[in-house]
C-alpha cells in the first residue's frame, strides 16, 4: 500500500513539475498578465478614492469607509488569484482540437492529469500574482485595514482552499461545454462576467439590495472573493464564516456529481463522433 502511495505521489510530482517547466516558457505572457491585473486594481482604487472624495471624504458608503474599500479590492483580488484556474479554456481546447483522443488512451485518467497539471500551472502564476499583489499592498499599508486575528485568518484559509477546489470543478464543467458546441468563446466570456459579478469582483455585494446579496451567498462564486474579503474586514462573524464553509462543502458535493454526469454524457457523445 505504501509503495502504491509513493508511486502516486511521484507521479503527481512529475506532472506538476512538467506543468512548471511548460509554464516557465511563457515568461513574457505571465509578466504581461501581471501588468494588466495590477493596472486594473490601481484603476479600481483610483475610482473608489475619487468617489469617496466627491462624496465629501471620510464618509462611509453602505458601511464601507475608504480604507475598507481599498482593503476589499486588494484582499479580494488576492483571494481570486489564489483560487482561480484556466480549466475552461484548457478542457474545451482539448475537446475541440481532438487532443482528448490521445489523452484518453494514456494509462492515466484525463481528469486526474488535468487537475494535477492545473494545480502545477496555477501554482506558478499564483506565486507571481501573490508576489506582485503583496508589493502593491505594501504601498497601501497605511491606507488599509490590517487584521491579524488568527481565528478569522484560519477560516479564510480553509475557505480559500475549498474555493480552489470548487473553482477547479466548475472550471472543468464549463470546459465540457465544448462537447456540445464548437463556439465556446462566447459562453466562456459570458460565464466569466456573471461569475465575477456574483463573486463581488466588480464591487462589494453588500452594496446591492439585501435580497440579491443573500442570494449570492448561497451561490459558490462569492467564496473566492466577497466572503473571504468580508471576513478579513470583520464585516462578517466567525459563525457566518463557518456557515459559508458548510455552503461550500455542499456545492463541492453537488458540483462533483454534476461533473460526473456531464463528463460521462459528453464523453459518450465524443466517443460516438470522435475528432
Partner 1 sequence: MNVIHVKNLTKRFEFYRKKEGLWNTIKALFYRQKLYAEAVSDISFDIKEGEIVGFLGPNGAGKTTTLKMLSGILYSTSGEISVLGFTPQERKTEFKKQFGIVMGQKSQLNRSTTPMDNFLLFKEFGEVPDEQFNLIFNELVDLLGVRGFLDVQVKKLSLGQHMKCELIAALLHNPKVLFLDEPTIGLDVIAQKNIRDFIKKYNKLRKTTIMLTSHYMDDIKELCNRVIVINQGKVMYDGSFAKLVATYATDKVIKVSMNEVVKKAILDTYGKVEDYQEYSALIRVPRADVKNVAVRLMSSDLPLEDVLIEEMPIDDVIRVMFEDTKKSPQE
Choose among 247, 184, 229, 237: nearest CA to 80: 229
Q: In terms of CB distance, is 109 or 253 closer to partner 1?
A: 109
Provide the mask over 254-273, with x wherever binding to partner 1 is found by CB under 8 A and - wherever it is not.
Answer: --------------x--xxx
**Residue placing its CB nearer to partner 1 in the complex, 102 or 210:** 102
Is residue 86 within the footprint of partner 1 (CB under 8 A)?
no
144-156 burial by CB neighbour count: b if 16+ within 10 A, else e? bbeeeeeebeebb
Nearer to partner 1, 11 or 49 (CB): 11
Residue 113 Cβ vs partner 1, minimum distance, rounded to whole Å: 8
Please identify, using beta-carbon distances, which residue of 108 and 153 lies nearer to partner 1.
Answer: 108
Smallest gap from residue 96 Cβ to partner 1 (A)? 13
Q: Is residue 1 part of the contact set for partner 1 (CB under 8 A)?
A: no
SS3 track for 61-83: ECCECHHHHHHHHHHHHHHHHHH
SS3 153: helix
CA–CA distance, 49 with 137 (Å, rounded to integer): 16
147-206 binders of partner 1 (CB under 8 A): none
Cell representation of residue 49: 478614492
By CB under 8 A, is residue 242 in contact with partner 1? no
**5 makes contact with partner 1 (CB under 8 A):** no
Residue 12 or 259: the one with the smaller Cβ distance to partner 1 is 12
Q: What angle do CA 13, 17, 21 make, to 5 degrees?
A: 170
- Site membership for partner 1, residue 111 (CB under 8 A): no
From 19-27, 81-89, 186-194, 237-245, span contacting partner 1 (CB under 8 A): 19-27
Task: Report the distance separating Cα 82 and Cα 164, nearest Å.
Answer: 7
List C-alpha distances in Å: 189 to 19, 50, 126, 167, 194. Answer: 25, 29, 21, 16, 9
Q: Which is nearer to partner 1, 62 or 106 (CB)?
A: 106
Nearest residue to 228 (alpha-carbon basis) of 83, 37, 46, 52: 83
Q: Which is nearer to partner 1, 25 or 239 (CB)?
A: 25
Number of residues forming the site for partner 1 (CB under 8 A) = 25
Residues lying near partner 1 in the complex (CB under 8 A): 7, 10-11, 14-15, 18, 21-22, 25-26, 98-99, 101-102, 104-108, 113, 268, 271-274
Amino acid at each position: 500500500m505504501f509503495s502504491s502511495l509513493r508511486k502516486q505521489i511521484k507521479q503527481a510530482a512529475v506532472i506538476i513539475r512538467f506543468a512548471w517547466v511548460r509554464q516557465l516558457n511563457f515568461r513574457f505572457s505571465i509578466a504581461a498578465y501581471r501588468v494588466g491585473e495590477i493596472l486594473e486594481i490601481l484603476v479600481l482604487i483610483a475610482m473608489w478614492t475619487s468617489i469617496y472624495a466627491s462624496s465629501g471624504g471620510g464618509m462611509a458608503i453602505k458601511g464601507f469607509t475608504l480604507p475598507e474599500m481599498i482593503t476589499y479590492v486588494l484582499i479580494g483580488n488576492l483571494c481570486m488569484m489564489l483560487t482561480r484556474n484556466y480549466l475552461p479554456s484548457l478542457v474545451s481546447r482539448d475537446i475541440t482540437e481532438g487532443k482528448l483522443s490521445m489523452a484518453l488512451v494514456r494509462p492515466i485518467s484525463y481528469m486526474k492529469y488535468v487537475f494535477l497539471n492545473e494545480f502545477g500551472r496555477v501554482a506558478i502564476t499564483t506565486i507571481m500574482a501573490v508576489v506582485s499583489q503583496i508589493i502593491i499592498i505594501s504601498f497601501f499599508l497605511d491606507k488599509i485595514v490590517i487584521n491579524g486575528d488568527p481565528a478569522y485568518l484560519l477560516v479564510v484559509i480553509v475557505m480559500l482552499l475549498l474555493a480552489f477546489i470548487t473553482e477547479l470543478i466548475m472550471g472543468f464543467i464549463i470546459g465540457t461545454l465544448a462537447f456540445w458546441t464548437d463556439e465556446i468563446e462566447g459562453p466562456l466570456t459570458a460565464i466569466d462576467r456573471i461569475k465575477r459579478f456574483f463573486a463581488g469582483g466588480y464591487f462589494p455585494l453588500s452594496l446591492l439590495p439585501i435580497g440579491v446579496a443573500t442570494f449570492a451567498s448561497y451561490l459558490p462564486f462569492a467564496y473566492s472573493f466577497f466572503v473571504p474579503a468580508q471576513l478579513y474586514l470583520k464585516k462578517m462573524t466567525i459563525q457566518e464564516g463557518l456557515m459559508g464553509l458548510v455552503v461550500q462543502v455542499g456545492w463541492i458535493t453537488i458540483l462533483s456529481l454534476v461533473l460526473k454526469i456531464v463528463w460521462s454524457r459528453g464523453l459518450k457523445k465524443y466517443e460516438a463522433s470522435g475528432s
